[in-house]
Chain A
Amino acid sequence: DQQVKQNSPSLSVQEGRISILNCDYTNSMFDYFLWYKKYPAEGPTFLISISSIKDKNEDGRFTVFLNKSAKHLSLHIVPSQPGDSAVYFCAAIHFLNTGFQKLVFGTGTRLLVSP
């Protein structure tokens, strides 16, 4: 059962435009959300995160929005650059009874930014 879903496997955007990557989740116990970026032949790298008590977090060209009532988050990249072309994974954290956190990843969206 996929608790974190990225329904768009791919997205193509022109350089300079906005890229919007979407993510839906089913578990209301998730406390924290993250986005990771993955280039081919490399491991994923952390990009940006947001706590469940916030609805927006911004870091340079990257902004993450969280809509808790809809169980939906999105990553906005403005302006998009060719170097942003990568696979983006949405991930969610919830804390187990042990006090440890568990990270659940989505299926990923491949972003292609063309010049």
Chain B
Amino acid sequence: DVKVTQSSRYLVKRTGEKVFLECVQDMDHENMFWYRQDPGLGLRLIYFSYDVKMKEKGDIPEGYSVSREKKERFSLILESASTNQTSMYLCASSRSLSSYNSPLHFGNGTRLTVT
């Protein structure tokens, strides 16, 4: 069974801090994703990666960057946290980006509060 692990369930950070959200998957999946979930807005894609050191912007990349140095690990970086980045962050992985039969497997989320 695929396991996607997000290192923190809850984080509280101050405005202006640099924040790292870590995600690890154990199924050798090629693709990894970062979403944020906000009430009334659903899940919105921030960034995704289809290979080590490769990344693509999603729908809302502003204020974020990512790092994928190893296949199993995908990090989301908030360079200078702001209060509008308070949200639930969800990491996901999938086997293929070119197949319909490759649903996303999500981690349990990190609830980030920026004060």
Contacts and interface: CB of A to CB of B under 8 A. Distances in A.
A93 B99 CA distance: 10
Q: Which of B56, B99, B106 has the most CB of A within 10 A?
A: B106
B100 A89 contact: no
B100 A49 contact: yes
Interface in B63-111: 90, 92, 97-100, 103-109
A99 B98 contact: yes
B100 A43 contact: no
Interface residues of B, number: 24
A44 B106 CA distance: 6
Contacts of A101: 97-100
Contact of B92 (A34, A43, A95): A43
A65 interface: no
Interface string B16-50: 00000000000000000001000011111100001
A63 interface: no
Given A105-B42, A105-B43, A107-B41, A100 B106 contact: no
A2 B41 CA distance: 8
Given A49-B100, A100-B97, A43 B43 contact: no
**Closest 10 interchain pairs by CB?**
A43-B106, A46-B103, A105-B43, A107-B42, A100-B97, A105-B42, A32-B100, A44-B106, A43-B108, A43-B107
Given A43-B108, A49-B103, A51-B100, 5 more contacts: A2-B42, A42-B108, A43-B105, A49-B100, A103-B45
Interface of B: 4, 9, 35, 40-45, 50, 56, 90, 92, 97-100, 103-109
